[in-house]
Amino acid sequence: MRHAVLAGLLLVLPGPAVAQGNTADQLEQAARYHAALDVERELVLLRRIISPNSPFVVTHEQRVLAYKYLGAALVVLGQRDSGIVYFQAALERDPFVDLEPQKFTPAELAAFSDAKRLTFGLGIRAVAFDTIDPRTERLGFTVLTTHAADLRVELRSADAQAGVVLYQGITDGPRELRWDGLLADGHLAATGRYELLLSGVSQLTHRPDSARLYFSIQQDHAPLEDTLAALRPEDLLPEQHPAAMARTELFKGLGIAAAALVIPRTVANGQLHGGGRTFADGIAVTASVAGIGGFIFRQRHREIPANIAANAERRAQRAAANGAIRDRNQTRLAQARLIVAPAAGVGP
């Protein structure tokens, strides 16, 4: 039973690989026919490849190549307009497609050039996995217009509305752009997903077109330090006396006054009829005034200056420590390297 399953897998798995290989073989064969000017056989092969009924898997690149050779073959056969149509089909699918002058005749090249004039497309070459040091290196992008166009190339974070403009102006054909890793605000691009947005208007047909390339950036730097957490209420001293404090001050003053009145009436010997009651009354009045004054003062001034100063010092210490941490982190971020990788698009 196990052998039967293995045998079945061996029969099934090579299928797509063989099919791909057949498409590639057929394209190679078509190219050889084209070089030998055996365009009739070439056309048979190429039409089989682009046919919806093709039994083989045809990749996007293979289809573009098939259109390119179809266009060239038709031009050789004298069907220039039809050839241009296929060239246009190739250009619409891949604006970077081109005819190598050493493989194609001047007539084919001229037809392809006409196709490029008739077709307006913008292209961006995919970025490869790369690591750059933004202090000394630049990240390269290759953009292209099929013919003269007013082009704007903007790089921005995928979730940002605006970014840094890498190029704006008239261009025709491929153009190499270099990016230093900085965004419009002058800061190094943060870790995240970015897009390169091309928008242009043809100078021949006045048709607009746009293209996007998504890629991700990850900052590679030494680990950053965490800043100190915000001070919690329990980390700070109370800066105000409780509202009951004023009443307490009043009661303290009146209590001292009462004590002053009680001493000559309890400690003193009654037979002496004295005890300095007048003196005690003076202290009682003084303490009462102090208590009432303290009551009023505390109602108007509940703040505790010493605690306020202590809390301010704690806050200042925390701010200074966080400032130092931020400085150290900035230094590490300034030495960051950027790891660039292609991305599928916006979103997780």
Partner 1 sequence: MPRVSGPALAILVAVPALAAGQVSVQGGLLVGRAEHRVVDAGTLVAASGTLFGGALAVTMGERFQIHGEALGGPLTSAATPSLEDHDVAEAQISGGMKVRPWLILESGLSFRSFSNSLARQHWTTWRIGAETRVPLGFENVTAVLRGYWIPLVSVSGLSSPDVGLAAGVGVDWRGRRLDISARYTLERYDFAPSNGAQRLEELSTFRVRVGMWWPRTGRAKHSA
Rounded CA-CA distance 261/272 in Å is 17
Q: Which is nearer to partner 1, 255 or 345 (CB)?
A: 255
Amino acid at the residue 79:
Q
Alpha-carbon distances of 236 from 245, 310, 313, 321, 345, rounded to whole Å: 19, 8, 10, 17, 48
Nearest distance from residue 225's CB to partner 1, in Å?
39
Structure tokens at 323: 């400032």
Q: How many helices (H) and strands (E) does the chain have?
A: 9, 7
Shortest gap between Cβ of 308 and partner 1 (angstroms)?
A: 14
Work out how close the CB of 339 gets to partner 1 at its nearest, in angstroms, rounded to a whole number.
60
Residue 252 within binding range of partner 1, rule CB under 8 A: yes
Could you tell me which stretch among 29-37, 191-199, 221-229, 261-269 binds partner 1 (CB under 8 A)? 261-269
- Min CB(289)–partner 1 separation in Å: 9
Segment contacting partner 1 by CB under 8 A, of 113-121, 167-175, 179-187, 257-265: 257-265
| Shortest Cβ 232–partner 1 spacing (Å) | 28
Strand duo 164-179 + 208-220: pairing = unpaired
Nearer to partner 1, 277 or 337 (CB): 277
Candidates 90, 151, 197, 246: give the one binding partner 1 (CB under 8 A).
246
At its nearest, how many Å lie between partner 1 and the CB of residue 295?
Answer: 6
Minimum CB separation of residue 310 from partner 1 in Å reads: 15
How many residues are there in the chain? 348
Size of the site for partner 1 (CB under 8 A): 34
Give the Cα-Cα-Cα angle 312, 313, 315 (nearest 5 degrees). Answer: 65
Applying the rule CB under 8 A, the residues between 148 and 187 that interact with partner 1 are none
- The first and second tokens of residue 112, run together, are 């392809």
By beta-carbon proximity to partner 1, the closer residue of 29 and 299 is 299
Cβ of residue 187: shortest distance to partner 1, in angstroms? 48
Q: Which is nearer to partner 1, 184 or 296 (CB)?
A: 296
Q: Give 86's contacts (C-beta < 8 A, 6+ positions apart).
A: 67, 68, 70, 71, 74
Q: Distance between CA atoms of 310 and 297, rounded to whole angstroms?
A: 22
Nearer to partner 1, 304 or 333 (CB): 304
Closer to partner 1 by Cβ: residue 53 or 271: 271
* CA distance linking residue 145 with residue 166, whole number of Å: 15
- Site for partner 1, residues 292 to 321, rule: CB under 8 A: 293-295, 297-298
Stretch that binds partner 1, among 96-104, 201-209, 229-237, 245-253 (CB under 8 A): 245-253
DSSP SS3 for 285: helix
Cβ proximity to partner 1, 16 vs 274, nearer residue: 274
- b/e burial code for range 194-231 (CB count within 10 A of at least 16 → b): bbbbbbbebbeeeeebebebbbbbbbebeeeeeeeeee
Residues with Cβ within 8 Å of 198's Cβ and at least 6 positions away in sequence, in order, are: 122, 123, 124, 143, 151, 152, 153, 210, 211, 212
Give the DSSP letter of residue 186. S
Q: Which of residues 267-296 bind partner 1 (CB under 8 A)?
A: 267-269, 271-276, 278-280, 282-283, 286-287, 290-291, 293-295
Residues interacting with partner 1, by CB under 8 A? 246, 249-250, 252-253, 255-256, 259-260, 263-264, 267-269, 271-276, 278-280, 282-283, 286-287, 290-291, 293-295, 297-298
